[in-house]
Structure 1
Amino acid sequence: MKFKVSAALQYEVKAPSTLILNVHALRTANQTVLDEKLTIAPYLKAEELNAVNGENRFVRLDIQDTGTIDIHYDATVDNYYEVKDHSKIPEIPVSKFHPSVLTYLNPSRYCQSDMLYRLANNTFGHINNSYEQVFAITDWIYKNVEYLSGFTDSETSAYDTVTQQAGVCRDFAHLGIALCRALTIPARYFTGYAYRLNPPDFHACFEAYLGGEWVLFDATRLIPLNGLVKIATGRDAADAAIASIFGDVSCTNIRVACEYADEQPFEPIYYTRSIFHGISYY
């Protein structure tokens, strides 16, 4: 499926600084960037830095002059996904995990799985199948955490979200990741452009490693799962931040868009057990 995505960012620079952006659509085996363009006004040289694990496409800007900077990213992306019944796929023991997966079993800055071990096991430990556990986690978050814009901030963690019972997509994702890891299910943060998200914005959800594949889950239920364009994945939002600022820089405006651009009609897929069992973008 083809999508046209765009991001317009404006920053006010008050001193020489460095800005690392993470808005480029990721190139993967199942996601092809057909065309893209990055424009910066006034002109600055942009240095692309590919992450070691290949799950981020960073752009570094060295800014020496003060003033306003406008950054525009536009791309056309063709992505592919698969729908499978993951409840019937044989599980893989930790001893057989690829080394690259092991890091997603550990607690991280925003996903304190060690602090949520008792909650995870008391609530979901009785479920024998890992897929069914993640499904139950996603459903539990949706029912017990209120989606509330402006209630949390960049310091809010999964543990905070459990106690406050409110948050945005980033918080829903962090909580899902932490509960999965507490059950020895590898999980990672997913950020991307989202079709039919209202109001338009970057969107966060998470992927769980099930049967040797990364399977997408979104506890917010705000968008169709086949309407995503992946930007990055990581242990949590610290690894996949849209912008990392080093210096006296403040963001003054953000505009994000994701439009369907395929000739075939769009048939949305939402996360309910009656419709399908699991979707993979990886």
Structure 2
Amino acid sequence: MKFKVSAELAYNVKAPSTLILNINALRTDRQNIIEESLVLDPHINSEELPPIHGENRFVRLDIQQPGPIAVSYHALVDNYYEVRNHSNMPEIPVAQFHPSVLTYLNPSRYCQSDKLYRLASNTFGHIHTPFEQVFAITDWIHKNVEYLSGFTNSETSAYDTVTQQAGVCRDFAHLGIALCRALTIPARYFTGYAYQLYPPDFHACFEAYLGGDWVLFDATRLTPLNGLVKIANGRDAADAAIASIFGDVEFKSIKVSSEYAGETPFEPIYYTRHVSDGVTYF
């Protein structure tokens, strides 16, 4: 499944500074980058930093001269999605988790799972399988949290979202992650390009570790699950920021695009629930 993605960012640099960008599509076993380009105007010394855990592709810009800077990223990406029935998948004991998964069980800056344990246990603890628990979490968030653009800010946490009952995609993701971790289900932040998202922008959702694999969930339901191109994973948004600024740099504008480039018609995938012959399928 192929997508053409792009990002156009503009900044005004007022003094020598460093800018770390996180807009390059990630290379994974299920995501192949066919072609890509990153153009900086004017030319600036830049380097792609080696990933520590293979979960991002940070590009560091060493900016010495003040003035306007334009960043243009374009890529053609081929994604592979697999649909599985996780409804009866047994829970994997923590003792069998790979060490790289364990960090996604802990509370983090925006995902205070320790503060939401009682809510998670009382609301979802009675559900028998991990997948059904995560599905119920996303369903609960979608019904109880209003998607409200501009309502929150960079300091808003999962605990804040529970009390304010409103937020944007990153807030939906943080709350889903925190509730999963409170139930001892590893969960991590996902940021990427999103097909059919309106208005076009970078999108945030989350992945839960189920049956030995990372499974994608999106409580906003604003874009098809198979319409996402991964940029990065992290414990929360602090690990996967689109841009980190060190110095006197003013953000000016952003334009994001994701277009389907496949040969066959696009068929969107969402998690849905239906009942057949008395059995519930996901």
Structure 2: distance between partners of 1:252 and 1:109: 27
Aligned positions of 1:1-282 closer than 5 A: 1-274=1-274
What SS does the corresponding residue of 2:139 show, helix, strand or coil? helix
* TM-score when normalising by structure 2: 0.97
Task: Kindly indicate whether the alpha-carbon contact (under 8 Å) linking 1:158 and 1:178 is maintained by their aligned counterparts in 2.
Answer: yes
C-alpha separation in 2, matches of 1:45 and 1:197: 33
Give the aligned residue type for 1:38.
L
CA deviation profile, 1:193-231 (whole Å, cap 9, x unmatched):
000000000000000000001000000000111000000
Contact map agreement 1:194 1:227 (CA 8 A) in 2: yes
Give SS of 1:226's match: helix
Q: Note if contact 1:84-1:277 (Cα within 8 Å) is conserved in structure 2.
A: no
Residue aligned with 2:274, SS: coil
Query: CA-to-partner distance for each residue in 1:144-177, whole Å, 9 max, x for gaps?
Result: 0000000000110000000000000000000000
Change (3 A) 1:121 1:45: same
AA at the equivalent of 1:184: T
TM-score by length of 1: 0.97
Q: 1:37-65: per-residue Cα shift (whole Å, max 9, x none)?
A: 00000111220013210010000001111
Letter in 2 for 1:202: F
1:79–1:229 CA contact under 8 A, matched in 2 = yes
Q: CA deviation at 1:89?
A: 2.2
Count of residue correspondences: 278
Report if aligned partners of 1:192, 1:204 keep a CA contact under 8 Å in 2: yes
Question: How many Å separate the matches in 2 of 1:177 and 1:191?
Answer: 13
What is the Cα deviation at residue 88 of structure 1? 1.9
Contact 2:90 / 2:130 at 8 angstroms: preserved in 1? no
Asked if structure 1 preserves the Cα contact closer than 8 Å seen for 2:147 and 2:166, the reply is yes
Conservation of the 8 A alpha-carbon contact between 1:9 and 1:70: yes
Alpha-carbon separation, structure 2, partners of 1:223 and 1:16:
39
Supply the AA of the counterpart residue of 2:265. P
Question: 1:277–1:232: structure 2 CA closer, same or farther, 3 Å change rule?
Answer: farther
What's the CA shift string for 1:68-111, capped at 9, x where partnerless? 10000000000101100111223211000000000000000000
Could you tell me how far apart the structure 2 residues matched to 1:119 and 1:263 are?
Answer: 46
Which amino acid letter does the alignment assign opposite residue 177 of structure 1? I
Name the CA distance, whole Å, in 2 between partners of 1:39 and 1:277: 46
For residue 229 of structure 1, give the secondary structure of its aligned residue in structure 2. strand
Letter in 2 for 1:130: P
Q: Secondary structure at the match of 1:82?
A: coil
Q: Is the 8 A contact 1:83 1:277 kept in 2?
A: no
* Aligned AA (1:7): A
Aligned mates of 1:148, 1:271 — CA distance in 2: 22
RMSD between aligned residues: 1.2
State the distance in 1 between where 2:186 and 2:77 align: 28
Q: Percent identity?
A: 77
- Secondary structure, aligned partner of 1:68: strand
CA contact (8 A) 2:89 2:129 kept: no
**Rounded Cα–Cα distance in structure 2 between residues aligned with 1:34 and 1:265:** 20
